[in-house]
Structure 1
Amino acid sequence: MNNDLLKEATEFICTFYKEVNKTAQEQENRLYEITQQIQNHGFYEHTLEELEYGAKVAWRNSNRCIGRLFWNHLNVIDQRHLHTEEEIRDALFEHMEYATNSGRIRPTITIFPQATPNKKIRIWNHQLVRYAGYKTEQGVIGDPGSIAFTEICLNLGWEPKYGKFDVLPLVIQVNNHTPHLFEIPKHLILEVPIRHPQYEWFEDLQLKWYAVPMISDMCLEIGGITYTAAPFNGWYMGTEIGARNLADEFQYNLLPQIGSLMGLDIKSNITLWKDRALLELNTAVLHSFKEDGVSIVDHHTAAQQFKLFEEKEMENGRSVTGDWTWLIPPLAPAATHIFHNHYHNEIVKPNYFYQLKPYE
């Protein structure tokens, strides 16, 4: 008998039944069923209702996420009946189409079978859509953050294109089988060309970014059960693209080029050229997504939404945990209330957790 699993299952079921106002008898009956399953099989299976609640509450408990106001609007797709790489691929394609929704992005999670002693599914990609990074003699082409995974894809037979924004294939592994590589159909990938409302030369940079951040390498843990493949998405906060992906020195590092094109003195910090270039890059990202009708939120609005989330949680008698270093936006953090607050970085379950990369 796995007493640790039973303890976590009991804590989850008690919290769940209390929040959805189920009776004490219903709770007792369910805990008896779970105890029997753990005794007989070493694990138990969630009902669909438990799965949906657990996935949503895992978002509510995600300390690093500023967008938790919408936790209860997460669309949960149950794909626990799928087992082959091809079935999982098709389900991921369905997730992409449903979540993207022609730009009106829907927060979505697709959950594949739980990990058991003889079953484990992994999606090797960090996100379902991500750009390749190639290390060449002339320097890095594309996303430097993707170099290691790109090399894995090349070793699996993927053909490189050596562009700045090449979408990587999906890599899916079932158990200890050889991972399977699948190209993503172009019609499933919505991308936004980045342009600026005032600077016409911005279009000459030929920048773009994909519309939906679909995290695919974290595991979902609910009541002691682990789902190692459970890709999920919300929509972007603009600074994730404009102040991180395109701006970080260890990623696309575009600030020097943008600063020069703005006519700024990039040799002196006192000109605050990085701040000014960063602001215009973020302006361009927000402008482009909004003009194309693709869901996105600016960091000031996101902070206001998080404040509303905090108030709602307080009304429901729940304390808000958080990782301050992640909650503050990378642009004008002191202009948000989050900067001036303190949060306990306590891990509460259900939750999403990082897991070791399967190719390292």
Structure 2
Amino acid sequence: WSNLQVFDARSCATAKEMFEHLCRHVAYATNGGNIRSTITVFPQRTDGRHDFRIWNSQLIRYAGYQMPDGSIVGDPANVAFTELCIQLGWTPKYGRFDVVPLILQANGQDPELFELPPELILEVPIEHPTYEWFEELGLKWYSLPAVSNMLLEVGGLEFPACPFNGWYMGTEIGVRDFCDAQRYNILQDVGRRMGLETNKISSLWKDKAVIEVNLAVLHSFQKRNVTIMDHHSATESFMKYMQNEYR
């Protein structure tokens, strides 16, 4: 809390202005990799028919494309949202890591589409400290996890658009984004390349492989001086925070 930067965007009136505020948020929060905790607060809800909303779940996410053969290119979690972007006029690129545009709604008006300038988006190519083949997987991830679809309630006032960010914990990317079966699902490929018994669950090949994926994520972010936390440090940090709150 003591380090949270609050940007007051309550005087915002149009989707274009919303976009300008969000560009400022991304640039400030990314800070060349030295991530800063930030929240931007857009106008409060009035009668429920003039809401300011960000339709994206995060300010930066990767597109997911359902192909004619049923396969998915990109992030399967974002297939429906990507389809919505295409319906609103976005031109799909059909890559594995295409950043989806922002869908912004101001004052209850129709949603509008905006693309974040590529120079604002800091991405980290994923490599492993010892497995040289890891780079062949062609993985990367964005450095700024900015949640944008939650409602902030303060003293009875509701703010439907209030994107905020901290920084990543390594397992969020390594386990959830890369290894979940319903996401990028790279675990089998990694296990095979490591020479593990991937046809035998009791060999614990998944446990071995996921550790190396997590290690690769932490190594890659740290190598490029981008803020990230391992799950052990995060646990210790949270317990200290709890102790301070209870004082």
The TM tier, using the shorter chain, reads: over 0.9
**Aligned length in residues:** 245
CA distance in 2, matches of 1:137, 1:268: 32
Counterpart of 1:313?
245
| RMSD value, Cα | 0.8
Q: Are residues 1:143 and 2:72 paired? A: no
Give 1:84-123 correspondences, 5 Å limit: 84-117=14-47, 119-123=50-54
CA distance in 1, matches of 2:21, 2:235: 33
CA distance in 1, matches of 2:12, 2:107: 13
Offset at residue 103 of structure 1 (A): 0.2
Counterpart of 1:223?
155
The amino acid of 2:139's aligned partner reads L
Q: Are residues 1:232 and 2:164 paired? A: yes
The amino acid of 1:168's aligned partner reads V
Counterpart of 1:280?
212
CA distance in 2, matches of 1:170, 1:83: 17
Match of 1:254 among 186, 199, 216: 186
Give 1:61-76 correspondences, 5 Å limit: 71-76=1-6
Gaps of 5+ in 1: 1-70, 316-360
Q: TM-score, normalised by structure 2?
A: 0.98
Offset at residue 166 of structure 1 (A): 0.3
Offset at residue 175 of structure 1 (A): 3.5
The amino acid of 1:99's aligned partner reads A
CA distance in 1, matches of 2:5, 2:137: 36
Q: Which deviations, in whole Å up to 9, do the C-alpha atoms of 1:275-301 show, x marking residues without a partner?
A: 011000000000000000000000000
CA distance in 2, matches of 1:287, 1:96: 23
CA distance in 1, matches of 2:219, 2:179: 17
Whether the 8 Å CA contact 2:53–2:105 is kept in 1: the answer is yes
Whether the 8 Å CA contact 2:100–2:115 is kept in 1: the answer is yes
Q: TM-score, normalised by structure 1?
A: 0.67
The amino acid of 1:303's aligned partner reads T
The amino acid of 2:43's aligned partner reads P
Offset at residue 119 of structure 1 (A): 2.7
The amino acid of 1:133's aligned partner reads G
Offset at residue 137 of structure 1 (A): 2.7
Q: Are residues 1:130 and 2:61 paired? A: yes
Q: Which deviations, in whole Å up to 9, do the C-alpha atoms of 1:115-142 show, x marking residues without a partner?
A: 1015310100000000000011340000
Q: Which deviations, in whole Å up to 9, do the C-alpha atoms of 1:6-64 show, x marking residues without a partner?
A: xxxxxxxxxxxxxxxxxxxxxxxxxxxxxxxxxxxxxxxxxxxxxxxxxxxxxxxxxxx
Whether the 8 Å CA contact 2:18–2:106 is kept in 1: the answer is no
Counterpart of 1:158?
90
Q: Which moved more, 1:156-165 or 1:113-122?
A: 113-122
CA distance in 2, matches of 1:301, 1:126: 26
Counterpart of 1:337?
none
Q: Secondary structure at the match of 1:95?
A: helix
Q: Which deviations, in whole Å up to 9, do the C-alpha atoms of 1:143-190 show, x marking residues without a partner?
A: 000001001000001000000000000100123322100111000000
Q: Secondary structure at the match of 1:241?
A: helix
Whether the 8 Å CA contact 2:6–2:39 is kept in 1: the answer is yes
Counterpart of 1:269?
201
CA distance in 1, matches of 2:239, 2:52: 37
Give 1:18-33 correspondences, 5 Å limit: none
Gaps of 5+ in 2: none
Offset at residue 309 of structure 1 (A): 1.0
Q: Secondary structure at the match of 1:313?
A: helix
Whether the 8 Å CA contact 2:52–2:107 is kept in 1: the answer is yes
Counterpart of 1:81?
11
Counting aligned pairs with the same residue, the percent is: 53
Q: Which deviations, in whole Å up to 9, do the C-alpha atoms of 1:67-107 show, x marking residues without a partner?
A: xxxx2221111110111010000000000000000000000
CA distance in 2, matches of 1:208, 1:232: 22
Higher helix share: 1
Whether the 8 Å CA contact 2:50–2:109 is kept in 1: the answer is no
CA distance in 2, matches of 1:201, 1:170: 34
CA distance in 1, matches of 2:59, 2:206: 31
